[in-house]
Amino acid sequence: MIRHLHFAGAGLLLLALSGAARAEDIPERKDFQVFQGVARQVQQYVNFTVFDSVNATVQDGVVTLTGKVTMPFKVEDLTRRVSRVEGVRKVDNQIQVLPVSRFDEELRLRIARAIYGNPSFWHYASMANPPIHIVVDQGRVKLEGTVNNHVERMLAQSLAIGFGEFSVENGLKTDAERQVELEQID
């Protein structure tokens, strides 16, 4: 069974893409349990910030990590953390390191201040893992994660515009959309 997740603060994207687990699956831990352990390891990683984005798939105990992070050491740290999850047979780490760029770094900080400094998002800013992630790659911004509603999604996008970015892609999901995705698994 394939499980896909997107780590964006409090929100996880889970999609069941194939049928039931086969008999040769690891008997003690099914993919969903492995998946949950992987999610915990990524979200509890102290260097995972709102400027990083990590996705994972689990199939027969093989975890594939994708996404983008701001520093090279995070790739190795995440591989090590995920490989310790019970039931993980192998980690295929395809996480990319974002290029070093003063412009991108300043853009990240400006957009983060605009979003998390807005009174509508103060409740997110106080969370240990704020749910709105701001991924900047060569001046292109992508917002990822989970917000309460459509109004917050649109407000976050409007707050991310006007800082010299080349484009802004809004990949935010609402809590209701995440809930529907979770229900499709059951």
Segment 119-132, tens digit of pLDDT: 999 999 999 889 99
Q: How confident is the model at residue 182 (pLDDT cuts 50, 70, 90)?
A: low
Tell me the C-alpha distance between 105 and 113, whole Å.
12
pLDDT (tens digit per residue) in 53-99: 999 999 999 999 999 999 999 999 999 999 999 999 999 999 999 99
DSSP for 133-170, written as a single string: EEEEETTEEEEEEEESSHHHHHHHHHHTSSSS-SEEEE
Cα torsion angle, 101, 103, 104, 105, sign: positive
Domains of the chain and CATH, by start: 2-97 (no CATH), 102-179 (3.30.1340.30)
Average pLDDT of the chain to the nearest whole number: 86
Contact 133, 50 (CB under 8 A): yes
Residue 24, CB-side half-sphere exposure with 13 Å CA sphere: 3
Radius of gyration over every alpha carbon of the chain, rounded to an integer in angstroms: 17
pLDDT (0 to 100) of residue 99? 95
pLDDT at 107 exceeding the cut of 80: yes
